[in-house]
Structure 1
Amino acid sequence: MNWDVWLPPVALSLKVSLFASIIVAIIGMLAARFMTQHSFKGKSIIETIFMLPLVLPPTVVGFILLLLLGRGSWIGQAYEWLFAQPIVFSWIAAIIAAVIVAFPLVYQTMKVGFLSVDRHLEDAARSAGGSELQVLRFITLPLAKRSLVTAYLLGFARSIGEFGATLMIAGNIPGRTQTVPTAIYIAVETGETGMAWAWTIAIIAFSFVMLLFTGRRLDQ
C-alpha cells in the first residue's frame, strides 16, 4: 500500500470532522437551547427546516450550498474578496458541508438532552438569584452533559462519513479537498481496489470507535 497516497485523505477527513464537529456542536447547542426555551409562531416550520438535511439527498444539499456559496453569490464573492480565493473547492467548503449534514442529528440529540432537564431545578436556581448564564452553566449543562457529549460524537461520526454534499461543493482534489469517502469513490471508479479497501477499513474503524463511545455514553 502506498502510504503517501493513503494518508492525505485520512488526515483531511479527520481535520474536517474535528472542525465541523466543534462548529456544529456550538451551533446545535445554541439552537436547541433557544428552541426549548421559547414558543413562538412558526416554530414548527423552523424545526422542520433544521431537520431537512437529514432526509434530503446529499447532492441536493450540495447543490443548494453551491448556489449559496459559489462565485456568483454575494457570499462567495465576499469570501473571495476577503481571502483572495473562492470558498468552493476548498477544505473550508468541506467543513461547511459536514456541518450542514450533521446539524440535524446534533440538534435533535441536544434538544432531547435539554428537555430532559427538570425545569423546577432551573426555576429554583433563578429564584435564588442565579442569572440565565449561571443557570445554564451550573444546572442545565451538567444535567444534560450525557446528551451533549453524545451529540458531539454523532456529529463527528456523521462528518467523517459525508460524501455527496462534500463532492458537490468541495470537489475531489487530491491533497486539497479529497476526503476518505471521495477517495474511495475514485479508487473504485479507477479500479484501485486495494486502496479502496484500505480507506474503507480506516473509515469503518473510525466510525466504529465513535459509535462505540456513543453507545457507552447512552448506557451510562
Structure 2
Amino acid sequence: MPTATTEQSLNVIDLILHAGVVVQLVMLLLLLASILSWYLIAKLSIGFKQANKKDQQFDKIFWSGAELPTLFKNAQTKHNRDGLENIFHDGYSEFVKLKKRHANLEQSLEGTERILRVSLSREQSGLEAGLSTLASIGSVAPYVGLFGTVWGIMTAFIGLSTAEQVTLATVAPGIAEALIATAIGLFAAIPAVLAFNHFTAKSEALYEERALFAEEMTARLQRQALAPDLED
C-alpha cells in the first residue's frame, strides 16, 4: 500500500513537471494565489480576535462607572488605540469641540453621531482589509484553473493529431496534466470562499456591536449634558 501511494504521488508530480509551459504558469499562479489566501486567512483571524478582545476590555471599562472625561484623557495618551476606544475618542473629541463652540445639545449630538459613523466605518475598513482579495481569489481561481485545463487539453489533442495510432494510453497523460490545473484552482478557491463567508459574518456582527456602542455613547452624552452632575 505505501509503495502504491508513493508511486501515485510521483506520477502526479511527473504530470506537473511534464505539463506545457502555459499550464505550468497557470499552476504557479494558482499556487501563489493559494499561499496569499492562507496568509490573509491567518491575518484576518488574528485581527478579528484582537479586535474582539480589545472591544470587550474597553466596553467593560466604559460601563464600569468611569467618567467620560477620564476615559477621554486615557485614550488621548495612547498612540495605538483602535476599535471601540478609538471610536469613543473621535466621538467625544467632536462633542467637546462643539460644546466649546456653544452649539446647542441637538447640534452637538448630531455632529457627534456623524463622527461616530465615520470613525466606525474607518475602523471596519481597516479590519476588513483583505476580504475583497479573498473574494477575488474564490471567484476567479476556478476559471483560471479551467483555462489551464482547456489549454492543456487543446494542446494534447493538437499533439495527437500527428500521431499514427491514438490509444487511451496516449490520450490519458495529456488530459491528466490539464485536469490538475482545475484541481489546483479548486484547491485555491474553496478555502478562500469559505473564509470570505466566515469573516464577512464576523465583520457584520462586530459592526452591529460597535454601532450599538455608538448609540449607547450618544445616549450617555445626552444624559451628561442634561444632568452634568451625574457624570462629572
- TM-score normalised by the chain length of structure 2: 0.32
Which protein is richer in helix relative to its size? Answer: 2
TM-score, structure 1 normalization? 0.34
- When Rg is computed on C-alpha atoms for both structures, the one with the higher figure is 2
